[in-house]
Amino acid sequence: MAEEEVRIGVFVCDCGLNIAGSVDTEEVRLFAEKLPNVVVSVRNRYTCADPGQQEIKKHIKEHKLNRVVVASCTPRLHEITFRNCIAEAGLNPYVLELASIREHASWVHLHDRDAATEKAKDIVKIAVARARLLQPQHETEIPVTDAALVIGGGVAGIQAALDLADAGHQVYLVEEQPSIGGIMAQLDKTFPTMDCSICVLGPKMMDVGRHPRIELMANSMIEDVSGYVGNFKVRVRKRARFVDETLCSVCGKCAEVCPVVMPDELQQGFSSRKAAYIPFPQAVPSAYLIDMEHCLGNNPVACAKCLDACDKHCIDLHMQDKIVDLQVGTIIVATGMGIYDPTPLDEYGYARFENVITSMEFERLICGGGPTDGHLIRPSDHQAPKRIGFIQCVGSRTKNRGNPYCSNVCCMNTIKDSLLIKEHHPDAEIYVFYMDIRAFGKGFEDLYRRSKEIGVHYIRGLPGEVTEDPMTRNLRLKVENTTSARIEKYELDMVILSVGLEPRGHLKRLTNILNLSQTSDGFVMEAHPKLRPVDAPTPGIFFAGCVEAPKDIKDSVTQAGAAAARSSIILNADKLTSEAIKAIVDLTKCNSCGVCAKVCPYGAIKVDIKAKTGAQITAAACAGCGTCAAECRFDAIAMQHFSDAQIMAQIDAALEEEPQKKIISFLCNWCSYAGGDLAGVSRLQYPPNNRFIRTMCSGRVAEKFILHAFEKGAPLVLVSGCHINDCHYINANHWTKRRVERLWERMKKWGIRPERLQLEWISAAEGPRFAQIMRQLEEMRQKVTSEEIEHTKKVLKEQRLSKKKAGEQEKVTEPYI
Amino acid sequence: MQNLEREIKDTNIRLCLDCGKCTVVCPVAQHDPAFNPRLIAQRRLAQNSHGSRDETIWSCLSCYMCVERCNYHVNFPRFIHALRAESLAEGAQIQCSHGGAFQTMMHLMAREDLQQKRLDWLPKDVELSGQSDTLFFVGCAPYFDVLFNDLGVNTLDGVKGALKLLNRAQIPFNILANERCCGRDLLLQGDRKGFLTLAKANVEEFARHGVKRIITNCPECYYTLKADYPNMLGGRGIEVLHLTQAIAPLVQSGKLSLGKLEKRVTYQDPCTLGRCSRIFDEPRQILGAVAGLKLVEMEQSREKALCCGATSWLQCGAVNRQIQNQRFAQAEASGAEILVTACPKCQIHLRCAQKSSDGKGARVEIQDLASLAARSLD
C-alpha cells in the first residue's frame, strides 16, 4: 500500500462555556494549526451537536482529511458519536482521536486560564501525535452458529433452555445426573408461596423433554470446549445408561428383580434403591438406568436378572459411552449448588447423634414422595418428634469451619419448614435459633409473620453445644438467649441444622474447561456485579442460578431468563463484529517462549513451546488488553490501534517541551481514566502538571514506555489501573503489578529513586482520590531535582545502548513468570 | 477510645455477631451467670460507657474457649486484658489471690538490682553447656514450690524431668542464673509497665549471653517469649520451643527412647499450650512413646479441653473450684490413674482443688509430663 500523506483536521470545541470558560480555545486552535500534518484547525461551539458534526464532515471532504482529532470531552462519552460522524463522511472510524480538554483541563483548572490553556495545547499535541500514526482498522466479522448449549438441568437450566427454544433457537441441554430437575426436584415446598416444588417443576421438565428444539442429553458430561463467541465447539460424553430410554416404558420390573440394594442418595440416604432404578417417578428422561458402579458386573455379566425381566428388551449391559461433538454460538452455565456438610462442626454432633439432621434431610422426611411418605418421624425411633429445633447459619457467615458468606435462602427455608411442620403437627413445639432473620424478598416478611403467629419460637442466639441423652436419644441444647443475656437449656426430640450453600464440589473441572474465573468464595465470577450480572467475562458465556451465588428459585429463574435473552442477542445476529483492538503476532520475531499464553486472561493464545511454531492468537477471543504485548520480551506482539509507536509518540509529544514540569500518567480506560473523568465532572481542582496517556488496560503499559518517559526527562511516572481484583480484563493488572515491582528493583540498582515510578489502583468511582493523587504527585515532582533527571537520562541511555550492542534478542533461560 | 484502637483492630471485636456461642462454652459463664464475654465487649464499646466499671473483667481465665468457637475467632481474652490495663490506669484496685504474693514476687523480679539465688535445686548430674546458644528457661517453678510447699505440689519435678530428657536427647543448653519471670501474668492483669520492665530485662540478659534459641517446659513462658515479647517489644524475637516440641520429633524418629511405665493416664491440654499455641500432638506423642502407658482421653480434650481454673493469680473463688471439680469428674470418668499435665499452673490449681475439694478427684494422681517421661527412663 502506497504511503499516503497524512492530513489531519483538528476540531476544537468550546462546549459552550464548559471549555471556553477556562481555556482560550482560539489559542489552542491557532497552536494546532501549526502542528506538522495538520491541514485545518477549526473551532466549534458544540461539536457534538448536528451543526458541529456537519462541519466536521464538510472539512473532511474539503480538505481531503484522512485523520481527525476532536479536542472536546472525554472519549468515554463521545468517541462513538464522532466515529459514526466521520464514518458517514467516508472515513474509517478508527482514524479518530479525541483530546479530552474538558474533563482533564478546563474543568479541573478553572482558576488558572494560562495553565489550563497550555495544558490543553499539550493535550492536543499528544492527540495529534497519536492521530498521525493511527491506521484504518477493520472489525472482523464472525459468523454465529444459531444454537445454544445449556450446562445443567436444574430449574435455572430448564428455564433458560425453554426460553431460548421458544425464541426459535436450537438448544442442547447437558445434565450430569440421569434426570433433570436438580435441587428443586428434591424439595417438598417452596417459599414464600408454599407451592409443591415438583408439581411446579414437573410440567417444565416435561416441556423440556418434548420440545422440538431442545436436545436433552442427560447422564452426560462436558469433556471439552474450544472456540469463541458465536463459534464454540463442544465435546459431550453421553454416559451409558445401559437402558434405551426411547424404549423404556417405566414398568419397574428390572428394579423389582435387581438383587443389589443401596442407599438412595436422592432420599438423603434414608431409604434405598436398587442398582437398576429410576431417580424419581417424575424423572425426565422418563426411563430407568443401571448404576453400573454398583451392579454386580457386566464384564462378565454376573446377574442379568433385569435383562430377563424386561419385556421391552431395552436393557443393554454392554452399552458404551458416546462422544458427541456440538457446535454452538453461546453457552449458559447453570450447574447449580452444593450443600455444606456439617460433619466438621463436631459441637453439633451431626455425625454422632442420629436425631441431628440437615435441612435437606428434613425436606425428604416431610415430603410426600419421600422415604416416609411425608410422615415426619425422627431417625432413632421413628416416632413423630414433638419438640424440634432449627439451628441457623450452619456453615455460613463464619471463618471457623464453613464459608464466610450468607447463604441467602436458609432463613426463609426454615420459616417455610416451621410452617410445614405445624401443618402436619399443630401441637409441635418449634424453636428457631438464629443470629439474624433475613426475610428480604417479596412475600418473605409475611411468611415470617405467619410463622410467628402460629407459635414458632424465635430465639436469638446460636447453641454452643448439643449433647445427647443416651437413653431417649433426645438432644440437649445450651444457648445464650442474647436478648435476655441468659443461658437457656432446651431438650428437643430433633434438631435440624440449617446448612448453607456452597459451590459444587467439582466446579473447578468445568471452570478449567471454560476458562472461567471464580471469586474468593468459589462461585463463578460475573463480568460486572451490577451492570452485567449474568455475563461471564468471556464473551458468549452466561450464568444462571446458584452457580453464580446462593439464591432462591425466583432469582434463579429470573437469571435464567436474563441469560437466555442475552444469548438471544448473539444468536439472532448473522454475524458479530468485535472492536478492532486485537493483538497480532509477528512470527518472524516470536520465540515460542509461551509467556503470552500464560498471561492472557482469556486463554486466547496458544503456544507450542516444544514445536516452536509461534504463538497463535484467536482474534475473536482476544479482548485487547495488551498484556501479552507488554510482557513479550522479543517485541513480537503488536497491538492494533494502541501500537507501541503510537504510545511512544504520545510520550515524545508530551515531553518535547519543559519535560521536567510534566508528570506522565498511564491510565486504564475502564477505571483510572474514568476516575479522572469523574474528578473532572465533579470540578475537583488539581495542579496542571499531569499529562495522561490512555491505554485500554494497565496491562498494556510496557516497561519500555516507562523507561522512555524517564529517558526523555520525565520527573515522575504514574501507572494506574483498576483495583487488583476488579480488572476489566479479569486479572491483567496482576501482571502490571509484577512488572512495576520488577522495574522498581532495577531502578534501585541504577541509582534511580523507585518512588519516581508510582503505582496506584484507582476505580471509576474514585474521583476525589484521583484528584488527591494528582496533588500528591505534584508535591513529589517539586522535590525531583534536575540533577536527578539528568543522571536518569544518562543511565537509561547507557542501558539502552548496551542492550542494543548485546543483541536485540536476549537469551531466554527462563521466562519472568 | 484511642488507647483501645489497636486492640479493637487486632482482636476483630467489631466482627462479633452476637451469636452467644462464646457464652455457652465459657467455663466461667457456665457457673457464674453474671459473666458474659460477649457483653463485656458490648458494654465497653457502647456509647456511654465511660465512667462505669465492669467488675467482671477480672474473672476471665484467658482459656481461649470463646476464641475457639467464635465464627471470626474474635480475641475476647486479649480485649479483656486491654480493658484491665485501662481500668488500672484509671486507678482501679484489683483483688489479688494469695494476698498479692505473686504480684509482689513479679515486681521484685523487675528490680534492676535483682540478686537471686534460684538454682540451688539444680541436680548435680545435670549437664549444662555454658557455651551453648540454647537457653533452658526455667520459669517461676523454684518460687512456686516455696509458696505452695503445703500443697505438696512439686513443679520443679517437671523442670528436672525436662532437663534430664534434654540431656538424654543430647540437646545442649545453658541456664541463666539471673532469669526473671517472663511477665505473662502482669501482662494479662493489665500491668503493662510491669510486664515491659521484666521483658526488657530478660531480653537484655538473653542478648548478653548470646541466646539464639529458648526451650522451656512452661506453656505460659513459651507463649509469652514467642509471641508477646516480639508483639509488645518489637523485633523478630528468638526461636522459642516448648519442651514437647524439642522432644517429640526425637521419640517419633526413634533417636530418643523412653522407658516403661504400666499405667492408665489421661492428659490435661493446658489452655496456653493447646488452644492458644495449637500444640496438641507432641505431648501425646511423648506419652505414646512410653511403653506400657495407656492414654485415655477425657470427655473434653484437645481443642475442647477444660481449663484448670487459673486466673493469673487474680481470683480464686467458688467458680474456679466448680470448674476444677468438673475437670476431676471427667478425669475419673476416663478411668485414668494419673492425670498428666504439661503446665505448672495446671499442676498447682488442680492439686489445690484436689486437696480441698472434700474427696473429689482424690483417686487420680497429678503428674507433670516431663517428670513422668523422665521417670520412665530410670
pTM value? 0.83
- d(Cα B127, Cα B138) in Å, to the nearest integer? 15
pLDDT band at A808 (very low <50, low <70, confident <90, very high): low
With the C-alpha atoms ordered A692, A698, A699, A703, is the resulting torsion angle positive or negative? positive
* Amino acid in position B273: L
Per CB-CB distance under 8 Å, the chain A contacts of B22 are 464
Which ipTM value was assigned to this complex? 0.90
- d(Cα B182, Cα B105) in Å, to the nearest integer? 12
Please report which helix (H) or strand (E) contains residue A338, including its range.
Answer: strand A337-339
**Using an 8 Å Cβ cutoff, are A265 and A275 in contact?**
no
Per CB-CB distance under 8 Å, the chain B contacts of A464 are 20-25, 69
Nearest by CB to residue A461, choosing from B19, B70, B72, is B19
- d(Cα A549, Cα A556) in Å, to the nearest integer? 10
How many A×B Cβ pairs under 8 Å?
60
Radius of gyration from C-alpha coordinates of chain B: 20
Tell me the shortest Cα–Cα distance from B56 to chain A, in angstroms.
15
**DSSP H stretches of helix in A272-375:** 305-309, 359-366
pLDDT in the model for residue A486: 93
- Please tell me whether residue A500 adopts helix, strand or coil conformation: coil
**Among A58, A56, A64, residue whose Cα is nearest residue A98:** A56
pLDDT band at A809 (very low <50, low <70, confident <90, very high): low
Task: Verify whether the Cβ–Cβ distance B24 to A400 is below 8 Å.
Answer: no
**Is B17's Cβ below 8 Å from some Cβ in A?**
yes
The residue to which cell 519535560 is assigned: A659
pLDDT in the model for residue B47: 67
Task: Verify whether the Cβ–Cβ distance B73 to A400 is below 8 Å.
Answer: yes
Per CB-CB distance under 8 Å, the chain A contacts of B23 are 464, 480, 485, 487
Tell me the shortest Cα–Cα distance from B12 to chain A, in angstroms.
12
Per CB-CB distance under 8 Å, the chain B contacts of A480 are 20-21, 23-24, 29, 36, 38
Task: Verify whether the Cβ–Cβ distance A480 to B33 is below 8 Å.
Answer: no
Tell me the shortest Cα–Cα distance from A244 to chain B, in angstroms.
51
Residue A428: pLDDT above 60?
yes
Please report which helix (H) or strand (E) contains residue A760, including its range.
Answer: strand A757-761
Question: Domain boundaries in chain B?
Answer: 2-89, 98-246, 254-375
- Residue B204 has which C-alpha cell? 537484655
Per CB-CB distance under 8 Å, the chain B contacts of A398 are 71-72
Q: What is the pLDDT of residues B162-186, one digit of tens each?
A: 999 999 999 999 999 989 999 999 9
Tell me the shortest Cα–Cα distance from B184 to chain A, in angstroms.
27
The correct CATH number of B254-375 out of 3.40.50, 2.60.120, 1.10.3470, 3.90.320 is: 3.40.50
* Amino acid in position A471: M
Mean pLDDT of A37-44: 96
**Among A113, A102, A74, residue whose Cα is nearest residue A683:** A102
Q: What is the pLDDT of residues A227-271, one digit of tens each?
A: 889 999 999 999 999 999 999 999 999 999 999 999 999 999 999
Mean pLDDT of A357-382: 95
Rounded (5°) CA angle A485-A487-A490? 135
- d(Cα B318, Cα B325) in Å, to the nearest integer? 10
Q: Which of A345, A400, A477, A483 to mutate to test the interface with B (most CBs of B within 10 A)?
A: A400
Q: Average model confidence (pLDDT) for chain B?
A: 91
| Strand A67-72 relative to strand A96-100, pairing | parallel
Residue A602: pLDDT above 90?
no
* Amino acid in position A600: C
- Residue B271 has which C-alpha cell? 489452655
Regions of chain B with pLDDT less than 50: 1
pLDDT in the model for residue A452: 97
pLDDT in the model for residue B357: 65
**Among A543, A602, A521, A529, residue whose Cα is nearest residue A763:** A529
Per CB-CB distance under 8 Å, the chain A contacts of B25 are 347, 464-465
Task: Verify whether the Cβ–Cβ distance A462 to B19 is below 8 Å.
Answer: yes
Tell me the shortest Cα–Cα distance from A675 to chain B, in angstroms.
30
Give percent above pLDDT 90 in chain B: 75
Task: Verify whether the Cβ–Cβ distance B21 to A480 is below 8 Å.
Answer: yes
pLDDT in the model for residue B48: 65
Task: Verify whether the Cβ–Cβ distance A399 to B22 is below 8 Å.
Answer: no
What are φ and ψ of residue A325, in 5° steps? Answer: -105, 130
With the C-alpha atoms ordered A257, A260, A266, A268, is the resulting torsion angle positive or negative? positive
For A62-113, the DSSP string reads HTT-SEEEEEES-HHHHHHHHHHHHHHTT--GGGEEEEE-IIIIITT-TT-H
Per CB-CB distance under 8 Å, the chain A contacts of B21 are 462-464, 480
Tell me the shortest Cα–Cα distance from B38 to chain A, in angstroms.
9
Per CB-CB distance under 8 Å, the chain B contacts of A438 are none
Per CB-CB distance under 8 Å, the chain B contacts of A394 are none
Q: Which of B19, B64, B72 to mutate to test the interface with A (most CBs of A within 10 A)?
A: B19
Task: Verify whether the Cβ–Cβ distance B19 to A487 is below 8 Å.
Answer: no
- d(Cα A604, Cα A322) in Å, to the nearest integer? 29
Tell me the shortest Cα–Cα distance from B2 to chain A, in angstroms.
27
> Which strands make up the sheet holding A231-238, listed edge to edge?
A220-228, A231-238, A322-328
**Among B107, B268, B236, B247, residue whose Cα is nearest residue B180:** B107
Per CB-CB distance under 8 Å, the chain B contacts of A347 are 25, 69
pLDDT in the model for residue B123: 92
> Could you tell me which chain A residue has the CA closest to the CA of B24?
A464
Please report which helix (H) or strand (E) contains residue B267, including its range.
Answer: strand B260-268
Termini Cα distance of chain B: 58
Task: Verify whether the Cβ–Cβ distance B69 to A397 is below 8 Å.
Answer: no
The correct CATH number of B98-246 out of 3.40.50, 3.30.70, 2.70.70, 1.10.287 is: 3.40.50
pLDDT band at A578 (very low <50, low <70, confident <90, very high): confident
- d(Cα B350, Cα B89) in Å, to the nearest integer? 33
> Could you tell me which chain B residue has the CA closest to the CA of A395?
B71
* Amino acid in position B361: G
- d(Cα A173, Cα A169) in Å, to the nearest integer? 12
> Chain A neighbours among B 18-37 (CB < 8 Å)?
18-25, 29-30, 33, 36
B254-375: same fold as B98-246? yes
* Amino acid in position B19: C
Total Cβ atoms within 10 A of residue A784: 18
What are φ and ψ of residue A44, in 5° steps? Answer: -135, 150
pLDDT in the model for residue B53: 78
Residue A41: pLDDT above 50?
yes
Nearest by CB to residue B25, choosing from A461, A464, A486, is A464
Task: Verify whether the Cβ–Cβ distance B69 to A479 is below 8 Å.
Answer: no
pLDDT in the model for residue B356: 80
Task: Verify whether the Cβ–Cβ distance B20 to A482 is below 8 Å.
Answer: yes
Mean pLDDT of A50-59: 95
Nearest by CB to residue A480, choosing from B24, B71, B73, is B24
Per CB-CB distance under 8 Å, the chain A contacts of B71 are 397-400
Q: Cα A335 to chain center, whole Å?
A: 16
Task: Verify whether the Cβ–Cβ distance B20 to A397 is below 8 Å.
Answer: no
- Residue B18 has which C-alpha cell? 452476637
**Using an 8 Å Cβ cutoff, are A559 and A548 in contact?**
yes
pLDDT in the model for residue B2: 53
Nearest by CB to residue A479, choosing from B17, B24, B39, is B24
Mean pLDDT of A762-776: 92
Q: What is the pLDDT of residues A127-185, one digit of tens each?
A: 999 999 999 999 988 899 999 999 999 999 999 999 999 999 999 999 999 999 999 99
Nearest by CB to residue B20, choosing from A398, A399, A479, is A479
- d(Cα A198, Cα A281) in Å, to the nearest integer? 10
Tell me the shortest Cα–Cα distance from B30 to chain A, in angstroms.
8
Task: Verify whether the Cβ–Cβ distance A400 to B29 is below 8 Å.
Answer: no
